[in-house]
Structure 1
């Protein structure tokens, strides 16, 4: 019996091998544009099952790549055992301590729904279906990051399986280097089976999207810049240039405000002085409803992205963004950062001092379109004031960890990797070794 077939006796969870019914579906990441020719797919039953899998892989000289669903897949999982953690789905809320414990397979939307019942919130991003663990392991840009910093800043402990297949509880006190690396430095060092993180009060929330025809983009851009120039940390505003297939180009502003409606309306008043919008979904909402603002797809689909951090958004940069249609891109998003993002952070990313993030997205329907999308992304990036640094969770398959971390942080991450996983059992989407 070969080593892959012995997987079935090593773990209690589902094991799928090439040729098995359902294998091709199970190995695919959420981004269908990324190929993953893995050797096997294992859906772990629990943390003990993860430990058994790691011991089996280590003894067989095999790598393990962990993906709850594969939002950040890069194609570097080829030849590994792909570990799915969807069944590690517990959510425990300690409302008095403002703390949550979530399994590695828990999506952001589930944590938000559980926390909302107590008037609390985690630090969710734009999509409710990405895993809390995956976002935290990559640092994490949240709707509420201007008020509370990186998602990783909120993590207080990890339950992991190390490269020898041992279950461990990791904190800043028990293993400061590993704790530091896991808070934003990727999953290259251990398998996270659960994490504990601080929650924040959210008794009131106002948010939504205002959408206009593209002809109003210059005025919307001016209003966006005016709002973000004076925004308090409780307010987050994103600008979106949109061009969906079969529709006319549009421009949108997405916003959330941790506070009351009247204050939010005052802060967003420049939007109300613009032309009449196509739609306006702004309202008082629960923190569990955040995913509806941008309404990103919740099912697997192909995509080609590129992200940059902008050192500013002056008149020249604004003019460049609006100079030409965004096609063949579907969206060009500018996220306002600043606030708590720029404060000291004991994470591999450290403080995020750039005031805006740029996210460029298109669908590579065929090789010719993929080339055109990449060329448009490259042209925009090269014509804007970018810092050259990128958020880890926004890296694309052509990029590496060196694009996200500075030299000192990268060297420290590599030292942690060598100490905790010298045989390279764990294969992150973007390995710190390159």
Structure 2
């Protein structure tokens, strides 16, 4: 038994969760996240069940000069670990809701669905995204673009406190007042500065929505994108929406009217009265004949039905671009390229509360963006992100959460997610909190 094996044995004795090495039973399952296009290949995995296990893993890695990666659900993998230590937080799933303070506290492996379920009886909702099976932590630390973003801002803007293990092995309780620099950097800087083991954030008073979708055949109904963009300039902040081009396969499980078609799906989440929502969406109905419509008054607990994102792990590659105002040339650029192969494209309407500074400053950048375009390719093979590149003249930057992995998470792409002054501050704080680059398997700011 060599020195490293002896060190791992000591680590096993220190932690309550499993410690796995290549070849061990459960190693492959533990290192695999939701996006099957990329998988970590660490020397050691620590399946943390609490903050003490995270501390032990970080101390073990730092003492041996090993890099650390963290994975909850594995939706937002950036760089696949080749060696080093992977801290898996998926067992830390505690969720507590306090209806009196309208707050929630969650563990590092909690998913949004559980928060939605616990908050709903009190008429409260978290600022989750379109897919409740996504983990709370990675989503929020990357900024967190909610289903109700125009109405209530970024998920990061609601964070009240965090428990985080930093590169020195300390467990710190971080608040806007207690450690403002670290608080600022974590919210938008993701896991460059430590591993968050617990998160407390505010909930919003939303019990019901007017929401759902309008589905148009992309081949038969022209001008959907132009009409949608014109419509977004007329709606209030309570209206949250996006439009997605989806090539539906001709397979069982897909609604019959959508099978084998390229479909433009307009998604709507309106926080006002349903009758006002009905009035506001009438211009969308006038675009042309619809394949299907699912708009209705619904409890927030059913918000996943609006986008209907598949909850089954799959491989994909992606990129995104934050955009300013879009003119006719930009619309032509999108129209000319969205009909290619199995490409999925979504254009989200931003602005509203997303454009305003939060009560407690954080590193989430480019709040002046008007739209976010995401280009997604199913499958594990890297693809040229031609649409994102073609939209460079209208770009104001990128959004970290939907940036993708591998070459799509390179230094140039990461820098583009921040305003220049914020990037400079993040780089300086990285040198303070993680001078040896222990947390280097992430969207690196330095």
| TM-score (ref. length: structure 2) | 0.91
1 CA distance for matches of 2:9 and 2:445?
A: 31
* Match in the other structure for 2:430: 417
Is the 2:67–2:441 contact (alpha carbons within 8 Å) kept by the matching residues of 1? no
Q: Write the mapping of 1:73-84 to structure 2, written as runs, cut at 5 A.
A: 73-84=77-88
CA displacement at 1:161 relative to structure 2: 1.5
Query: How far does the alpha carbon of each residue in 1:351-381 deviate from its partner, in whole angstroms, 9 at most, with x for none?
Result: 511111000111235x5xx4xx42xx32453
1:226 and 2:230 are equivalent in the alignment: yes
1 CA distance for matches of 2:151 and 2:348?
A: 14
1:347 and 2:352 are equivalent in the alignment: no
Change (3 A) 1:206 1:282: same
2 CA distance for matches of 1:380 and 1:427?
A: 26
Residue from 100, 105, 112 that aligns with 1:101:
105
1 CA distance for matches of 2:276 and 2:336?
A: 34
* Match in the other structure for 1:356: 371
Q: Write the mapping of 1:182-193 to structure 2, written as runs, cut at 5 A.
A: 182-193=186-197
**Structure 2 spans left out of the alignment, 5+ residues:** 251-259
Residue from 302, 308, 315 that aligns with 1:295:
308
Is the 1:257–1:264 contact (alpha carbons within 8 Å) kept by the matching residues of 2? yes
Is the 2:43–2:84 contact (alpha carbons within 8 Å) kept by the matching residues of 1? yes
- More moved, 169-178 vs 223-232: 223-232
Query: How far does the alpha carbon of each residue in 1:362-418 deviate from its partner, in whole angstroms, 9 at most, with x for none?
Result: 1235x5xx4xx42xx324531464325101111222233212112221121122121
1 CA distance for matches of 2:60 and 2:88?
A: 16
CA displacement at 1:9 relative to structure 2: 1.8
* Match in the other structure for 2:255: none
1:120 and 2:124 are equivalent in the alignment: yes
CA displacement at 1:263 relative to structure 2: 0.7
Residue from 121, 135, 156 that aligns with 1:131:
135
Residue from 35, 47, 50 that aligns with 1:43:
47
| Secondary structure of 1:423's aligned partner | coil
2 CA distance for matches of 1:124 and 1:144?
A: 8
Is the 1:136–1:152 contact (alpha carbons within 8 Å) kept by the matching residues of 2? yes
- More moved, 301-310 vs 385-394: 385-394
Q: Write the mapping of 1:361-376 to structure 2, written as runs, cut at 5 A.
A: 361-364=376-379, 367=381, 370=382, 373-374=383-384
| Secondary structure of 2:178's aligned partner | coil
* Match in the other structure for 1:207: 211
CA displacement at 1:235 relative to structure 2: 0.6
1:323 and 2:336 are equivalent in the alignment: yes
2 CA distance for matches of 1:327 and 1:194?
A: 42
1 CA distance for matches of 2:337 and 2:398?
A: 24
* Match in the other structure for 2:159: 155
1 CA distance for matches of 2:94 and 2:331?
A: 45
1 CA distance for matches of 2:376 and 2:8?
A: 37
1:11 and 2:26 are equivalent in the alignment: no
Is the 2:127–2:148 contact (alpha carbons within 8 Å) kept by the matching residues of 1? yes
Q: Write the mapping of 1:63-82 to structure 2, written as runs, cut at 5 A.
A: 63-82=67-86
Change (3 A) 1:132 1:325: closer
Is the 1:204–1:260 contact (alpha carbons within 8 Å) kept by the matching residues of 2? no
1 CA distance for matches of 2:387 and 2:298?
A: 38
* Match in the other structure for 2:295: 282
Is the 2:323–2:371 contact (alpha carbons within 8 Å) kept by the matching residues of 1? yes
CA displacement at 1:430 relative to structure 2: 0.7
Equivalent pairs counted in the alignment come to 426
Query: How far does the alpha carbon of each residue in 1:161-196 deviate from its partner, in whole angstroms, 9 at most, with x for none?
Result: 122222221101111100100111111111101111
Is the 1:216–1:275 contact (alpha carbons within 8 Å) kept by the matching residues of 2? no
1 CA distance for matches of 2:237 and 2:441?
A: 33
| TM-score (ref. length: structure 1) | 0.93
